[in-house]
Structure formats: C-alpha cells, structure tokens
A and B are shown apart, each in its own frame.
Chain A
Amino acid sequence: DADVTQTPRNRITKTGKRIMLECSQTKGHDRMYWYRQDPGLGLRLIYYSFDVKDINKGEISDGYSVSRQAQAKFSLSLESAIPNQTALYFCATSAKSSSGTSSIGSYNEQFFGPGTRLTVL
C-alpha cells in the first residue's frame, strides 16, 4: 500500500465551485505539505503543517485553505475555484529531525503522494 495517498486523483470542476483535496499518510510523519505544479515548472508550496496545531502559509496560499484533521490527514480546499488554479497538486510528508525536536535547522527527506490533477473550467 502507498505510504502517502491523495483523493481524488483526477477532478474536473467549474468556476466558483468549492473543492476539497485530501491527503492521508501512514508514514507516521509529523510534517505535511501541499504543493502545486504548473506545466513546465517545478513545484511551489501552498501550505505546510509541522504538527496538528501548526498551519503555515506558503509561497502561493491565496485562494486556498487547509485543515489538519489529524497527524495523518491534511486537506486542501479551494473555496471558489478559478481556471488559473488548474494544476497538478501534490501532498508531501517528512519526519521531524532525528533529535526529536522541530528544529528549524533539521529537515529530513520529503515523500510525495501520487498527485491530484485538477481542472477548473
């Protein structure tokens, strides 16, 4: 079974609709991230969470919101979808530093889900 799962895998929706993308992980990681990829580009960070009570905006958070329902679940919402939010969305996870603290200086390997292809018409 995959360690990081995303649902749905593909979604087509219309402008103005509310959309939720879900991410679950069985890796036991504390840190979770949402990224977006546009054609021909690398990934950019939307939101990230270092634990259940910690939510932070990333580079391109406008138009998005997130919820960390549990350590293993991190969902991304588009409150009112617009066509330029058409993209491939990835969830990722990583462990805390090996010392057991959330030291900003310690960042471990990130693991990505399979992606959700979202089209907004």
Chain B
Amino acid sequence: GIQVEQSPPDLILQEGANSTLRCNFSDSVNNLQWFHQNPWGQLINLFYIPSGTKQNGRLSATTVATERYSLLYISSSQTTDSGVYFCAVRYYGGSQGNLIFGKGTKLSVKP
C-alpha cells in the first residue's frame, strides 16, 4: 500500500514565525487533504488539494502530484495554530474509499 510520511514530526515556533510542513507519498493520488487536529481532538479540514496551490488566509498549500509531495505553509503563526497537522491521501491503487493518514506534525506555538 501507499506510504505517507510527514516531516518534521514536531515543531516549536515563536508566535509570528512562519513554517513549512511537508507530506511525501509513495504512489499516485487522486485525493489529498490537510487537516488540523486541535487540542480537543477535533479534525478541521484545511485544504482539499490533490494538485496545485490554494490559499486560505495565513495558510496555503501546494501539491506537486508528479513529484509526490505536498507542502503546507503557515505564516505569522498564532498560538491557536497549535495542534497536530495531518496529511491524508487516497491513492489510485487503493480498493477502498478511505484516506490514508500520515502520522502528523505536532506544532506548538509559544506566545
């Protein structure tokens, strides 16, 4: 099956700093999503981005499907950005409709 690797596993930032989170995947995908899991455990959809670039406020994401990676950019980070960021993909070779999740990047933003 497909492998989804996220880096870095942990990231500590000072409020106001910028960061880039990376997601590598080992097979062609037809769905890629970024999620933020807040400290209460809720999963919040950030981007649906199987290819291309999208922006939403201070967050943006880019997926280069041909090179099998996606990047999530967080600018001017705030303490409310803390939590775990997951990349999840659905790949062409899969027989099920589910998303395959990476292990996440745990982000801590200090005031």
Measuring CB to CB, which residues of chain A are less than 8 angstroms from any residue of chain B? 31, 33, 35, 40-45, 48, 50, 56, 58-59, 88, 90, 94, 104-112, 114-115, 117
Contact = CB atoms under 8 A, between A and B. Distances in A.
Interface in B81-106: 86, 88, 90, 92, 95-104
Contact of A109 (B33, B96, B103, B104): B33
Interface of B: 4, 30-31, 33, 35, 41-43, 45, 48, 86, 88, 90, 92, 95-104
A109 B89 CA distance: 10
A40 B103 contact: yes
Nearest to B98: A45
Contacts of B98: 33, 35, 45, 48, 58-59
A41 B59 CA distance: 23
Nearest to B102: A42
Interface of A is mostly: strand
Contact of B43 (A50, A104, A108, A112): A112
Contacts of A56: 96
A88 B41 contact: yes
Contacts of A107: 30-31, 90, 97
Contacts of A106: 30
